[in-house]
Structure 1
Amino acid sequence: MLKTNERLSVCVYCGSSFGNRDDYSNNAEALGELFHQLKWRLVYGGGSTGLMGCIAKATMGPQLDGNVLGIIPDALISKERDQGNVDELNKKIKNNVENHKGSTPISSEYGETIVVRDMHTRKRLMANESDSFVAMPGGFGTLEEIMECITWSQLGIHSKPIILFNMDGFYDSLLLFLKHSIDQGFISETNGNIVQVATTPEEVIEKIKNYNPPEGRFNLNWSDEHDHQN
């Protein structure tokens, strides 16, 4: 369990698109505002579009005095980096996800950005820089990233909090899959508790602060990994 006054780095995985409900972006902004109030650092995938941009900008705060670290591969950075292009691109994406071509502008309004060479480096650095992990709504990348963090915990590579921010029931189907895997004997009941579920921004904070890694995870020798992960 974490100390309530501890300043943390929270890695948030989420979509670079907005989704079809305003609640997604509203909740992303609300969580970012809580990070800003708590003086917690946001670690995210970099860029300025979709839910990623929403939470990064909210964490920075109106005076741009927040703490945000974006980590992004060079291939995903748009050459059009001024704020006008950010706003224009976000409008296009919000109207139709088909307008999102994968790249994103970057801006100091969204925090510090580290540019890396590939996705593997990005994921490794995001994990190393973070004390906990949160998944908001997203697509293939979001699911892949949070599942990898869950697997790492199961294998004993780390013991950091992992929270699904299940806003508007977005992750209900995934939670059913996890329950089915437990029922079918592929995941132990104790390892099912690696993932905690929150439905509000405030509950995300509470779940991070009160997280206890479950007993029964694998006790393997990851000495090389521990040098990087803990």
Structure 2
Amino acid sequence: MASGGASPAISVRSQTPDIPGSTTPHGLSKLNNVLSNSTNALASQTSRSPKIKICVFCGASPGTSPAHMEAARSLAHVFAAHNVSLVYGGGTVGLMGEIARTLVSLSGPDSVHGIIPAPLVKYERGPDSDIALDGAIPEYKTYGKTTVVKDMHTRKQMMAQEVLAGASGSGFVALSGGYGTLEELMEVVTWNQLGIHNRGVVVYNVEGYWDGLLSWVKGSVEAGFVGKGNQEIIQEARSAEGAVRALREYRVASGRFKLEWGNE
């Protein structure tokens, strides 16, 4: 992630202006500079305190159990109750579409920002979605702001920028999902371990969906590949209210690496 500049070049299309300070990423070593620029730019735009922003990783499928879609709706209701803004992957199908639509219906389109790579627009867009005139952007009044970016790295960069610029209690929640959800989750876990960010990371464990991952973490500690002090980087929640509370009460793990990023 790169520092400097206010170029919106990473956004292919967006219904509302992009976050100031965005630029093409040049590696994780620049993350702190980028996030600092983003925070300062956002602060200069408004005298209000920043909102809590929670990035939700989740599937573009509904899952076979109705509990997964219900969990997405429940999370949206809790976000609305706590005045939380959603940052998510920009899809309009599956859990992604459900949480976005529900929160927009409760808190308005300004409460949601979807960030989606251009190649995934067709895949992660449902046939019943209302699409803007350019044929690519989901309708703002239904799904909130959508930013289309060039690749997965840029998507994750912008997600992280928004979360770290948010108020205390901002962080990352993983609902049920597939390979992409797991990859996004583990990247922010790794960034936390390396000291790149200090935001909370929570798995919303619907019907034991994340039991295997939590068991793997425990086994990795026992096998000596994850330090005991880093076992608590991932927090578990069994309810939507529990997920938001876990982020609000999050404390960084004692084993986090105290590394300096962006000062070389």
TM-score range, shorter chain: 0.7 to 0.9
Q: Which position in structure 2 is the counterpart of 1:42?
A: 86
TM-aligned CA deviation for residue 224 of structure 1: 5.5
Deviation track 1:7-50 (CA, whole Å, cap 9, x = no partner) reads 30000000000010001000100101111222211000002100
Percent identity among equivalent residues? Answer: 41
Name the SS of the counterpart of 1:113 in structure 2: strand
Aligned 8 A contact 1:47 1:107 in 2: no
- Greater CA drift, 123-132 or 40-49: 123-132
RMSD: 2.4
Alignment partners' CA distance in 2, 1:52 and 1:63: 17
Residue 10 of structure 1, aligned match among 44, 54, 71: 54
Closer/same/farther in 2, CA of residues 189 and 59 from structure 1, 3 Å limit: same
User: Which letter maps to 2:56?
Assistant: V
Equivalent residue for 2:145?
Answer: 112
Contact (CA 8 Å) 1:86, 1:105: kept in 2 or not?
no
2:118 paired with 1:85 = no
Letter in 2 for 1:78: K
**Counterpart mapping for 1:1-230 below 5 A:** 7-62=51-106, 64=108, 67-78=111-122, 85-86=128-129, 106-108=138-140, 109-130=142-163, 131-223=170-262
TM-score by length of 2: 0.72
Using a 3 Å threshold, how does the CA distance of structure 1 residues 106 and 218 change in structure 2: closer, same or farther?
Answer: same
Secondary structure of the corresponding residue to residue 86 of structure 1: coil
Aligned-pair distance for 1:205? 1.2
Cα distance in 2 for residues equivalent to 1:216 and 1:197: 18
Unaligned regions of 5+ residues in structure 1, if any? Answer: 88-103, 226-230
Structure-2 separation of matches of 1:70 and 1:159: 23
1:86 is displaced (CA, Å) by 2.7
Cα gap change, 1:224 to 1:22, in 2 (>3 Å): farther
- Residue pair 1:7, 1:38 contacting (<8 A) in 2 also: no
Q: Compute the displacement of 1:80 (Å).
A: 11
Instruction: Tell me which amino acid in the other structure corresponds to 1:85.
Output: D
Residue of structure 2 in register with 1:97 after alignment = none
Instruction: Evaluate the alpha carbon distance shift between residue 6 and residue 210 of structure 1 in structure 2; reply closer, same or farther with a 3 A threshold.
Output: farther
SS of the equivalent of 2:236 reads: strand
For 2:54 and 2:90, locate their aligned partners in 1 and report how far apart those are by CA, in whole Å: 14
- In the alignment, what sits opposite 1:100? none
Offset of residue 206 of structure 1: 1.0
TM-score (norm 1): 0.82
Greater helix proportion: 1
Give the whole-Å Cα distance in 2 for the aligned partners of 1:221 and 1:7: 27
Structure 2: distance between partners of 1:135 and 1:205 = 12
In structure 2, what is the Cα distance between the partners aligned to 1:153 and 1:202? 23
SS of 1:18's equivalent?
coil
**How far apart are residue 58 of structure 1 and its match?**
1.4
